[in-house]
Amino acid sequence: MKKFIVLPIVFIGMLLLSFNTRGQDPNYTQYFSTPIYYNPAYTGINSGVRARFAFRDQWPSLPVDYKSYFFSADVGDRNLPGSGGLGLYVNSNNYGKSYINDLSFGLSISVRIPITALFVSQIGIKAAVVQHKIDYPSMVFGDELNEKYGRIYSTQFPVDVYSNKKVFPDFGIGGLFQFANPDGIITGTGGFAVDHIFQPDEAFLSTATAKIPRKYVAHLDLVISTSPGGSSSSMYTNGGGGDPLRINPGFLYQSQGNLNSLVAGFNILKYNLYLGAWYRTALKNNPSTAVALVAGYKYTFAEDMSLKFMYSYDLQISSNLQGLGGAHEISLILEFDKLSLFGGGNRGGSFNTPGRSFRGGGPLECPSFY
């Protein structure tokens, strides 16, 4: 009898999210591992090719936990017109044992605008096709249940089994800027993006409307090194920088509907090992606060090729969400810094600084998040 009680409650909750424009998109604690998900201007922000995969399992102690999957691949090649990048991404969200599923496939493109040798900007757009799907036969509605005999009635909910899919286009736009100090000790990235620009309707029923509210994102991060030039990637050399300690603080703020959330914290990198701590909180209307602990490792195959593995666990500290199991998140990032898909060699950037060697564009070609 317990499963008959749990499923209707979860389903009703998901219906409220579907028909209430105050809902919020699924989010990743490791937003630094899924940058294109939040801002298309990150497309091609670094020279070379990057492939990213992320998996999030939220509230695993529930029988109907929420799973999200994200994959993206993008190329930054300064031989491209506009010197920006091209990318693609796939995002999938499963709610309640996959009874409700979102699947989106999108393309992104960016334009790079050099301003000075140590300050550049990028503007990006993304266009996606989204499939919103519901498995009606697996659902258990509250009016189907008898407290003694279980599921014996027919639901009066207006289910149309032939309208179990909704396909619609979705668009986003964003911009960012990158900066560095002359010694390369500090580099930074900040930006702003808007998703769901045209507020697509994701309602399953023809008698209902469920527009996705626009999502506004603001973000900023810094990479601070203990030695000159150490905040950049292997493509930037200053002659004997060694393996400096790198500290990467940052934050990401989101506003969607009447919900606002903030993720803030830092990662550190030393000897190819990552450690980090991040604070997640909903600022109003949805009390939810967590502390996320991050650990990872960066394996370098060659000077211009590496694989990063990151794991994080969200420790729920909100009393109303205790016992749900927090959230597990895993990400893999494969980087090819010098790979060029459009021939002619990778010029990297448009500027050079006297006295330093910039292979692939200098400090502004370093990873936005380390």
Question: Which tens digit of pLDDT belongs to each residue from 32-55?
Answer: 999 999 999 999 998 889 999 999
Domain-located, residue 203: yes
pLDDT the model gives residue 66: 85
Q: What would the two tokens of residue 146 be?
A: 């008898």
pLDDT the model gives residue 13: 41
Strand 357-358 and strand 327-336: the pairing is unpaired
pLDDT digits (tens, 9 = 90+) for 107-117: 999 999 989 88
Handedness of CA 147, 153, 158, 164 (dihedral sign): positive
Alpha-carbon distance of 332 to 334, in angstroms, equals 7
Centroid of chain to Cα 61:
24
Q: What would the two tokens of residue 242 be?
A: 């060694």
pLDDT the model gives residue 22: 45
pLDDT the model gives residue 219: 97
Secondary structure of residue 314 in the 3-state scheme = strand
- In one letter, which amino acid is 348? G
pLDDT digits (tens, 9 = 90+) for 116-151: 888 999 999 999 999 988 877 667 777 778 787 777
Domain span including residue 327: 2-365
- In one letter, which amino acid is 213? P
Domain-located, residue 278: yes
Domain-located, residue 41: yes
Half-sphere exposure of 209 (CA within 13 A, CB side): 4
pLDDT the model gives residue 97: 62
Give φ, ψ of 134 to 5 degrees: -130, 140
Q: What would the two tokens of residue 235 be?
A: 């493509």
Domain-located, residue 370: no
Domain-located, residue 312: yes
List the end-to-end C-alpha distance of the chain, in Å, as a whole number.
Answer: 49
pLDDT the model gives residue 161: 54
Q: Which residues of the chain have pLDDT under 50?
A: 1-22, 233-240, 344-360
- Adjacent-strand bridge partners of 327: 58, 314
CATH number for 146 = 2.40.160.40
pLDDT the model gives residue 292: 95
Domain count, the chain: 1
- In one letter, which amino acid is 140? V
pLDDT the model gives residue 142: 75
79 and 346 in contact (C-beta within 8 Å)? yes
- For residue 264, how many other CB atoms are within 10 A of its CB? 15
Secondary structure of residue 296 in the 3-state scheme = strand
pLDDT the model gives residue 369: 67
pLDDT the model gives residue 155: 75
pLDDT the model gives residue 358: 38
Give φ, ψ of 245 to 5 degrees: -75, 130
**Burial of 209: CB neighbours in 10 Å, binned 0-12, 13-18, 19+:** exposed
- Adjacent-strand bridge partners of 357: 237
Centroid of chain to Cα 101:
18
- Adjacent-strand bridge partners of 249: 266
Centroid of chain to Cα 132:
19
